[in-house]
Amino acid sequence: MPTKLGAHTVRLDSMPSILSFAAVASKKEGQGPLGGKFDILNDDTSFGQQSWEKAESQMQKLCVGKALEKANLSPEAIDFMFAGDLLNQCIGSTYGLRDFSIPFFGLFGACSTMSESLTLASMFVDSGLANRCIAVTSSHFCSAERQFRFPLEYGGQRPPTAQWTVTGSGSVVVGKNVKPPYVKAVCVGTIEDLGIKDSNNMGAAMAPAAAKTIQTFFEDTCTNADNYDLIVTGDLGEVGSNLMEQLLAREGISLGTKHNDCGLIIYDRENQQDVNAGGSGCGCSASVLCADILPKIQNGELNDVLFIATGALMSPTSVQQGESIPGIAHLVYLSSQSVRKGVL
Amino acid sequence: MPTKLGAHTVRLDSMPSILSFAAVASKKEGQGPLGGKFDILNDDTSFGQQSWEKAESQMQKLCVGKALEKANLSPEAIDFMFAGDLLNQCIGSTYGLRDFSIPFFGLFGACSTMSESLTLASMFVDSGLANRCIAVTSSHFCSAERQFRFPLEYGGQRPPTAQWTVTGSGSVVVGKNVKPPYVKAVCVGTIEDLGIKDSNNMGAAMAPAAAKTIQTFFEDTCTNADNYDLIVTGDLGEVGSNLMEQLLAREGISLGTKHNDCGLIIYDRENQQDVNAGGSGCGCSASVLCADILPKIQNGELNDVLFIATGALMSPTSVQQGESIPGIAHLVYLSSQSVRKGVL
């Protein structure tokens, strides 16, 4: 049963388990530091399809299929599916997942989708609304670039604050408490907007939402960074990460050495991978979670992790109309242990 | 507490209440049969804003404000908000609702969003995840037309199967069982695709999903059309409604005189309102629900209603790439009474 803690945090008293997970990625991600860790790595970014959008759908299909296979579950064993992506009308999800015939909740949380879908899946299991749920999302550099920025052939210049959309997908099956990783709590984000208008600086636009959610969670649970091994944001990149730390510092909160960002984990920015401020996209946090973080919780390398995917809730139209860019961030507390410590 | 019935239906044992609701619409809707019933009716479709997209955001803001006002609740009294719309990246919701600071779950269910959001809100209250939630969505003829079809100035010809996007919004506050209307059960839809490719015939594309969800609900609950006073679909229009009835007839299911469609209720197609096959858009089912159906349940004119909003999960890009149009439909069982009858 869920217990509300403070303003926006819900403790999941049954501590649902992550039964399985899968990560899919492509060539550039395979050349990065996590190269050997993806379940499916396709050097051809088309994934055998005739368009980038269909390739993205194919990634979600492969990713869900792999997570089900790893859990030895059929689609009929899943009560509800939570999915979304960056593409207009979320076609990465709706076309990619239509063959599974699993009761479907379509989401839009931009790059926060992995934590939004995982939050809902975990709440559903904890509250008895479901025995098993699946959460999935994706992004594709080519489909995102031409939808949000310029045709690929144009070769537009990218400022240093720009980020590189990850071609990848991640999916997670959540079920009753049986084995680690466990989901111990979630903190649902509010829409935050400090007035950033530069769509080439998404990290800055999302930083206030990440800072707000982390602050709220710490207040709601009377914990701080010392209580966790890793506090990992979704895709703030270098610029956004620095801004988030500045915003938290104003509130007297330091994450010390505990903070990292999926956008800084997935590519090797120092050496050969030209990704400016880091990786981004729904697939960034999703694939890093499923390729790197969840395995480390499973094998005990990490014990207590706060996963906070962040989304920029704009569209090209809203930016052209001079609007600022609102952000949102949802937090999921993942643990290798299902014993209660303090309020959590 | 929720109880799973059959494949996809969840009975909400506590029977959450709809505490309040509000409907917003504009000039054309005001000239239709429901003209006197909207809470806010603005003859200027710009709603005082400088773009159609900003007008749509404004509608959601007004609509949520009105529902809170009618329930005498502040935004802080709402645990979670579920919202989405048709616009790219759901900007109708994210910009319209950012000032409320309510923990926010962004959804994408196309025109099924009113039943998707109401389903989640009701499940959250029934399972103890929340005390109060708000569900809201919208559509705007002008923002939808230029995003999905042609610039308004082009004046494109519309075939007889085309529908008219409603300029409207609806919002519902769900809370603990205190007064009618009650939410007795929900049935979560699956993505259905029978291969329709004509984006000027959305009713046909969504009909299979509506038929599937109604059939599943009847099977899961051992009920039939005789058990309900009204079975109202979202925005199938005339073409889609006929197709849905044909698909149900193949399964031996007749809705008799119980079926109506929000797209056929909101405009007067016979006389002066030139809307081809009927109304459509997230705002169609949302505003009809809140202006017409919920008041009739409240005053006892209707006792048992199945509300099934339907969504077409395509995008202009997927249609241009030759893809068919998947649909989805979620069902919400609304009742004037909180006593159990049979399995429900």
Task: State the ipTM, two decimals.
Answer: 0.98
pLDDT digits 0-9 by tens, B175-198: 999 999 999 999 999 999 999 999
Ranking A168-177, B57-66, B149-158 by mean pLDDT, the lowest is: B149-158
Nearest to A105 among B89, B120, B323 (CB): B120
Q: Does B84 touch chain A (CB under 8 A)?
A: yes
Distance between CA A226 and CA B5 in Å, rounded?
A: 45
Tell me whether domains B17-175 and B182-335 share a fold: yes
A182-335 — its CATH code? 3.40.47.40
pLDDT band at B156 (very low <50, low <70, confident <90, very high): confident
Distance between CA B56 and CA B213 in Å, rounded?
A: 29
Nearest residue to A180 (alpha-carbon basis) of A71, A66, A300: A300
Beta carbons of A106 and B109 less than 8 Å apart: yes
pLDDT of A271 over the 90 cut: no
Distance from CA of B137 to the nearest CA of A (A): 13
Beta carbons of A89 and B123 less than 8 Å apart: no
Beta strand residue intervals within A100-197, DSSP E: 104-106, 133-139, 164-165, 168-175, 182-187
3-state secondary structure B165-228: ECCEEEEEEEECCCCCCEEEEEECCCCECCCCCCCCCHHHHHHHHHHHHHHHHHHHHCCCHHHC
Average pLDDT over residues A59-74: 98
Nearest residue to A2 (alpha-carbon basis) of B125, B187, B175: B125
pLDDT of B274 over the 90 cut: no
pLDDT of A272 over the 80 cut: no
B-chain residues near A94 (CB < 8 A): 191, 313-314, 326, 328
Neighbouring C-alpha atoms within 13 Å toward the C-beta of A110: 29
pLDDT of A68 over the 80 cut: yes
Q: 249-308 in A: which are within 8 Å (CB) of B?
A: none
Q: Which residues contact A259 (CB under 8 A, 6 or more apart)?
A: A225, A231, A232, A233, A241, A245
Beta carbons of B108 and A321 less than 8 Å apart: no
Q: Name the closest residue on chain B to residue A191, using Cα atoms.
A: B98
Q: 171-210 in A: which are within 8 Å (CB) of B?
A: 188-193
B-chain residues near A321 (CB < 8 A): 50-51, 53-54
Structure tokens at A256: 């010390």
How far CA A258 is from CA of A19, A60, A211, A306, B21, in Å, comes to 26, 31, 14, 10, 45
- Indicate which of A93, A108, A212 best probes the interface with B, i.e. most B CBs within 10 Å of its own CB: A108
Average pLDDT over residues B248-270: 96
Does the pTM surpass 0.90? The reply is yes
Q: What count of CB pairs under 8 Å joins A to B?
A: 169
Q: Does B54 touch chain A (CB under 8 A)?
A: yes
Q: In the prediction, which pLDDT does A196 show?
A: 94
Top CATH class of A17-175 equals: alpha beta
Beta carbons of A110 and B89 less than 8 Å apart: yes
Beta carbons of B107 and A102 less than 8 Å apart: no
Distance from CA of A179 to the nearest CA of B (A): 23
Nearest residue to B171 (alpha-carbon basis) of B232, B235, B97: B97
Sequence ranges of the domains in chain A: 17-175, 182-335
Question: Are the beta carbons of B266 and B32 closer than 8 angstroms?
Answer: yes
pLDDT digits 0-9 by tens, B294-311: 999 999 999 999 999 999
pLDDT of B272 over the 80 cut: no
Average pLDDT over residues B38-63: 97
A-chain residues near B116 (CB < 8 A): 105-106
Q: What's the mean pLDDT when you consider all of chain A?
A: 96
Q: In the prediction, which pLDDT does A177 show?
A: 97
Beta carbons of B129 and A2 less than 8 Å apart: yes
A-chain residues near B91 (CB < 8 A): 313-315, 317-318, 323
Give the whole-number percent of chain B exceeding pLDDT 90: 93
Distance from CA of A129 to the nearest CA of B (A): 6
Q: Does B74 touch chain A (CB under 8 A)?
A: no
Q: In the prediction, which pLDDT does A155 show?
A: 82
Q: What's the mean pLDDT when you consider all of chain B?
A: 96
B-chain residues near A135 (CB < 8 A): none
pLDDT digits 0-9 by tens, A202-223: 999 999 999 999 999 999 999 9
Nearest to A191 among B50, B94, B120 (CB): B94
Distance from CA of B37 to the nearest CA of A (A): 30
Beta carbons of A193 and B128 less than 8 Å apart: no
pLDDT band at A8 (very low <50, low <70, confident <90, very high): very high
Nearest to A326 among B95, B316, B317 (CB): B95
Average pLDDT over residues A94-115: 98
- Indicate which of A87, A89, A212 best probes the interface with B, i.e. most B CBs within 10 Å of its own CB: A89
Q: In the prediction, which pLDDT does B157 show?
A: 86
Q: In the prediction, which pLDDT does A225 show?
A: 98
pLDDT band at A341 (very low <50, low <70, confident <90, very high): confident
Nearest to B91 among A53, A193, A318 (CB): A318
- Indicate which of B104, B126, B215, B323 best probes the interface with A, i.e. most A CBs within 10 Å of its own CB: B104
B-chain residues near A98 (CB < 8 A): 191-193, 326
